[in-house]
Structure 1
Amino acid sequence: MTGITDLDSRIRSDIEALNSVELRDHALQQWQILLDSSSIDALNGLLTSAVCGDHVTKELVRVIIGSDYVVDCMVRYPSILKALSGADSEASNVTGFHLWASVPEDYYDQQIKALVDISESEEQLSKSLRLARHQMMVRVIWRDFNGLADLFETTRELSRFADACVEHTMNWHTQALMPIWGEPHAKDYEGNWHPQRMLVLGMGKLGADELNLSSDIDLIFVYPESGWTKNGKREISNQEFFTKVGQKLIQTLDAVTSEGFVFRVDMRLRPYGDSGPLVMSFNALESYYQSQGREWERYAMIKARVMAGNQEKAQELMTMLRPFVYRKYIDFSVIEALRGLKDMINREVRRKGMEHNIKLGRGGIREIEFIAQVFQLIHGGLDVRLQNRSLMSVLLQLREGGILTEEAYANLVSAYHFLRDTEHALQALQDRQTQLLPDDTLHQLRVAHVMGYGSWDAFSDDLVAHRKNVEAEFVDLIQPVDEESGTSEPAFCDGWRSVWLDEMEDNEAIAVFEEQCFDDASAAWKLIKDLKQSKKVRTLQREGQERLNQFIPNLLQQLACSKRPTETLSRVLILVEAVLRRTAYLVLLLENPVALTQLIKLCDASPWIANQLAKTPVILDELINVSSLYSPPNKSELEDELRQYMLRIPEDDLEALMEALRYFKNAHVLRVAAAEVTGALPLMKASDYLTYIAEVILEAVVDMSWHQMVERYGYPTDDHGPVARPQLIVVGYGKLGGIELSYGSDLDIVFIHDASVAKYTNGDKQVDNQTFYTRMVQRIVHIMTTMMPSGDLYEVDMRLRPEGNSGMLVASLKAFNDYQHKNAWTWEHQALVRARVVAGSAELAGKFELVRKDVLSQVPAEGLNESVVSMRKKMMASLASAEDGNKDGVFHLKHDAGGMVDIEFISQYAVLKFAKEYPGILTWSDNIRILETMERLGLLGEVEVNQLIDAYKAFRIEGHRKILDNQKVVLSGDEVSEYQDYRQKVIKIWQHFMVDSV
């Protein structure tokens, strides 16, 4: 007891020497927890062991201040303390090395192998690895915090531990699976079979041997050659076998148990991301990177390292991948790619309020990495010295090669050490993967203390200085030069500053607006006065006021050149008012004159765009790049962009994923609208792109929901076992099915599955397959419709499913088929004409299309015309501008007689009437191509078809224009006469085709 009392006295003395009351209180609280625990004897033994000196109590105080996680480990696992003191020679998972000594390079390989070799079950293996991690982490944090190991010894020790865990856990599961499934083999050129082993590529910081304290490990699984297993109870392909190994490996390391986890495993860097196979052969991997590899994947592959598996094949694999990463020429195109990648990260940082993220924020760790990587990709193909995974080695080579100045090199190295040490201090607090600076005083003091500072302000000053140095180097590297706008401040009209700063009388201010060609000077001045006198402006903080004072004169200067300056001013000011609490958006516009020019141009063209920007100002970023703003990406580019975008968000952060989807949608809809209002994109293409956006998002949401359901319930099963991919499709109806989406369109969708309803999932919490897919659809709808800060994704209408609102959320394909044949109304068959699969299983999509064609080709002819005409009359009575669809001086583009619905009903009726005789009419779901098919089949004359198509396009163009002008799709006055000819021709054809011909 005397020893404990002496230790208590020494610890309290060291705590009392701290210069902060908050730190003293926290340290005393943590020490009391240790003092009251059953670990205190072991801790006393550690601190009084022969290798300790008087300094060790100060080391302990630093650790308990800096890491709640270490305190928890000490309390829960006394054996760790005995092992780290060198006193517990019997413990199976001891290091054999005390806290104050480095471990040999191969130590963790031997330690983890010994643990794995004696593990008789997955449970024992899982527990042993987690206890080993806790011990390793306590040791590493202690040494890191107290300067007993430098940054790179710490990161290398963490990386070696990860290597050993992956290697030996993979081997354990391989051996456990072989008695059942056999050993993988492949044939050589002579026909002889040879055993195969899986390889694991470590990516990112793990690949570079620079793992941080609480990092994910990014892995890619590969194997040399395709083949089959041999000598097991069942024979399966090599890919199937290694997929099982990979799944087991991930589960053992990643699952959170009562003992915690070993490593969070991230597989999203593999080809095709989450949608790709878990394991690929060398040939498949090479084919992917040669044909589809993206620039960001080149960046990622720089740090790739074979860290586990068949080392004989490792060199072959890396040699195969090298040409993808390093081009045999000086490749300056990577700077533009890097700029785009960094812009994407910056948008994410701003959207999530992560400016204080020391990794992703400005001047953070990622920018230092980018600086090195961009030169590696530019010059690495010719200079093999740059083909190096170590960041410090690359920076040294860049300095020695004269690419970096001595000052730049020193600044980057110093900042990297500081930022990585700070990262460790943040992560050790609670064993969390975070790079965000704390915002509460106590945590700030704790981080500052670990970093060797007496106050947060002192630490923060140095941090800011380091980040500014990094940012300056990064901006100098990638900042594009705008030759047109230059960097000088624009030449203002002398009066604009005085106008805004209230230095003029009303008549003087109005005179300035008149001189600068504002069409309604008095109204413009009133808009400015109202803004100036608003409560939001009057209560702005100093920084925000200064930004606004700089922005408004810039805005007025550029508005003077617009077509309708006063009206455009009113639209832009809606945005200005929306961002007055987030004036960083004004800075964005000030620092990017091109963006301000585009803002004015688009607000001048469309109040709808102005309102969208005001609702979601984060998409102002899209205005910076003019080339992409007016050139929306095609569907494959959209898919690729969304995949890359989502890779940067943790899979378990549902809120962040949902916000990311909303940003993606809003940004790309803005691009489409911008291209349409400026004439760069015709109506039909605009609808195509709006439809592509919805389809890509639906596919992503289906994938997200599938993974979340599988994680909770396991995989659905059939007669052959677990089903690895969702047997679900999303069927689009209406505008979505007809590829005619407009701005703000809701999505008419129906969900269909093809799973065995008598089977159950294979998870710990089993549910039948029907329940699984019902809950999956509920999750899909939740993700789509939940109102977030940036709005919802889409309004979803599911009333077209079998039995409407009273029907099941998701029907089996058989149930859908039975309903359509036996119970569906004519109007439901009309709706099916425009139905097509927009997301989900390709195999099930093919089956659905066969059902669709079968149903539509068997609609009874008897009474068909009467049903369609009757439905049209009902719609007209409830939706048209008058009961009969005719009202003098008014024309509803969609619902009135001679409008779009008449044309849609003509095409739908033709499909239902002639599908059996002419199956080709079932090919398309959109009205234009159905009408063209009708002409080709001789069902309607060329003149009539052209008249219908011309009218349909004209109505849709005007409808889009109305929406972008924030108006209803109803024409009045002189507008009606402009479309009267189209309307009368449609009415005439309706009468001839739907009435007279019957």
Structure 2
Amino acid sequence: MTTVPRIQTTAGRLARLGFADGAGAERLLDGLGPEAAGDVGLLESLVATADPDLALASLSRLAERDPGVLGALRRDPALRTRLLGVLGVSAALGDHVARHPDHRRLLEGERATARPTGEELRAELLLAVGADPGDPEPRAADASTAILSALRVAYRGRLLHLAARDVTGEAALAEVTAELSALAGAALEAGLAVARSEQPESGAVRLAVIGMGKCGARELNYISDVDVIFVAEPRRTGGGIASGDAVGEAASGTGAGNGAVDDTRAVQIATRLAQGMMRACSATTPEGALWEVDAALRPEGKAGPLVRTLASHQAYYRRWAKTWEFQALLKARPVAGDMELGGRYVDVMNEMVWQAATRENFVEDVQAMRRRVEAHVRAEEGERQIKLGPGGLRDVEFAVQLLQLVHGRLDPLLRRRATLPALAALSRGGYIGREDARALAEAYTFLRRVEHLIQLHRLRRTHVVPEGEDELRRLGRGLGMTADPVGEFTARWRRHALEARRLHEKLFYRPLLQAVARLPESEDRLSAAAAQARLEALGYADPAGALRHIAALTTGVSRRAAIQRTLLPVMLGWFADAPDPDAGLLGFRQVSDKLGATPWYLRLLRDETAVASRLAHVLGTSRYVTGLLLHAPEAVAMLGSDTELDPRRPESLLAEIRATVARHPEHAEVAVAAVRALRRRELFRTAVADLARHIDIERVGQALSTLNDVTVQAALEVAIAKVEMERRTPLGTRFAVIAMGRLGGVECSYGSDADVMFVHAPLPGVPEKDAADAAHAVANELRRLLALPAPDPPLTIDPDLRPEGRQGPLVRTLASYAAYYARWSSPWESQALLRARFCAGDAALGAELLALADPLRYPAGGVPDEAVLQVRKLKARMEAERLPRGADPALHTKLGRGGLSDVEWVAQLIQLRHAGRLPSLRTTRTLEALRAAVAEDLLDPADEDVLADAWRFASRIRDAIVLVRGRASDSIPKDVRERALIARALGYPPDGSEDFVDDYRRVTRRARQVVERVFYED
């Protein structure tokens, strides 16, 4: 034996070596005797432990009970390393070995490194309770406290043996968790033997204990509730192992006459056995308890029966089980009792587990479950919770389980219970990137090792990283960190937690999983051999062209191509669900070509389901939207949220447009091009909201009209600035634009022109001719700027509703309007003025013109009967003369029977006759006028419903025609395919085009009946 001078064992020297309490360590070493105090090897081994003070204190208590231990440590350096390693980590195992000093021999010689099999552990724990390991259903000697204490002593001896191999690195994490799971199974078997000793009828039933959670997955930690499910069957008479048929007979009662118990009795007996087993494991004895046996994962949870038959389990899971219950069954494994019955249970459940991903809202349910778990983390634990907190073990486990359940139904190689093997399989299969899988595995392994060290200290069920510096030092040193154990541990822990959280969110919430989960097997991945046939089956009219688009999008080794290969299998299905799959795929390729190099675009589609699915829908539905998007591809970003689709307020739009115009003060064409680009983006917003049914037809009309108002206002300001610059003088007149027609009625469609009138009022001192010339220049410049060629839908300024129409002056003064209306106004002009509304320019001037128009459109005594007759004749002539040649009157949405014109003329005639005395009728909007007429008892509510339904339906069809075809038309097309596309855009099913036409005929026929009665009869 080598000794060292006593001066080296002083308190200061010990403190410098790593003891927190140098003086206390000196006293303990002195208490061990002079040989121990001078033993360099012992001192070095103590200093190398996670907590030298704890190791020395535990060794001191052990030496009091077993003085020979010091000699054994000197003789066997391996024993010294193992025993002191455990004592420096676990105060609880130090207490155990001090109470049972003979257990230190488990760490000596060859047996110290031997890995016991599950059968060896089972036999050892059964012997501890006095049961025969060779008996198929062993019974313990009794259920006394002494027997239960013996079980705990044997269990902790095995725990000591495993912990020694763990802390010295002789057992890897997977080996540790597997042995802990086997040890738990052996303890459950011993507990069941104890329960059988209390239950004389136990031989009449077969009871299987199904391990769940970490126990089932063979990844148990040192101290944890052991999750189980119980399944039982009656035993066939004679004691043999019942076949499936025999079990079925017993369940149906056919064997009861031969002494067999029926289902009900079997469940009663098995329930007592299960309860006895749970008590045997969780009861407190002088040797403490093992752990709680938790059966809360059973059907119906704690409210359900503790034990069920296999048939009862099967019925429950087929009919009532929630998504999370199938997620839990992923780890189910028979661990004790009747293993054959347990195996059948797992086989039956697996058939359902691997189909669970096809359940409606499966992915969303799993994600919601994860959020509920997070919500139950106590606030005071915060980020120190390494199991449930952000970046904790559950983050990794939930992500892996979700990916397994989604992809494992098609790939059997993913059907692994344990997290790390499943993660490796996901990586090998390409479902997770190699680097992501490696980072997740490293984080998970680190967190599990931390969890083990935390629990080993007191053998308590905890997952919270301590806050004290001494405790953090013990954790760091237990993980091999010596230079700065606290700082290094904290840094590594935070790094792994952040990485686990990042990858969890990337994988677990990767929303394309929702779609992958619903794809049939043939659509899970692109298959070159079957691609064309599959595309034909999906409804692609040109599968060869579709294949070319797919190849262009996915060929190559770029990251862009790799992401497209992930996206397309899902998006092809989404395109197929749209009215025009070919147009959708073509549009997607075109947009991707425009934005493919933009970093955010493909990442947005990959990570945001709402964006990707909505993009597929609009591209496969609307050529109009596709055209808008090709010239404003950045608008894709607004597809992810319904809030983004809300129409914007006019003040906000005008402020943005003015700011844009201000950047081009000397270039009118450039400024208006920027205005039109903003209009293009807002048209896209409105069209997508329309197709998504986010806004109804009235709000569509309002949004489009507001957008046109703002566009005209901005272009007018540019035109005035241009004219003033060219004339080198202020304009010299006030100028206003009055909206007419559908723009005035705030009922614009996507193809509407801007019907307007122009009015000006010379400023004091400005010659009338100069003012008129300036006003005409502004009006012409406004029309020119908005008519310039541009890659967006035009906004044509149509001033034909002005006095004298095209023959009259383009712009008039207020006085000129007054003179004309006083002398020449006809009933149709009064009718047209019902839609007049200020649009842009000088608001006060606009109000003056509208005040001038009010007596004409709202005559005090109503229009005379002669004028009513003229209006009716004009309506009849228009029906006869203006309907396009060859158009079907029943299918023309504007001028056809029961169409828009019919409904609008009814509303306008009521206004002309009664608005002079009833201010509620003074509105430019058709449906508002009809509602006001009902409120004033001028129209029957049933008639208003019929007219409004026809107006809305016709308006929706006109808009749908533009959205689908990309150009305006007032007639429902005769082409069958185009009709089908429009019907789909309106929400009809794929075979609903005839229903769509029939519905329109029916709605407008009823409306026409109302029109003929209300409009043409007094």
TM-score (structure 1 length as normaliser): 0.44
Structure number, greater radius of gyration: 2
Q: TM-score by structure 2 length?
A: 0.43
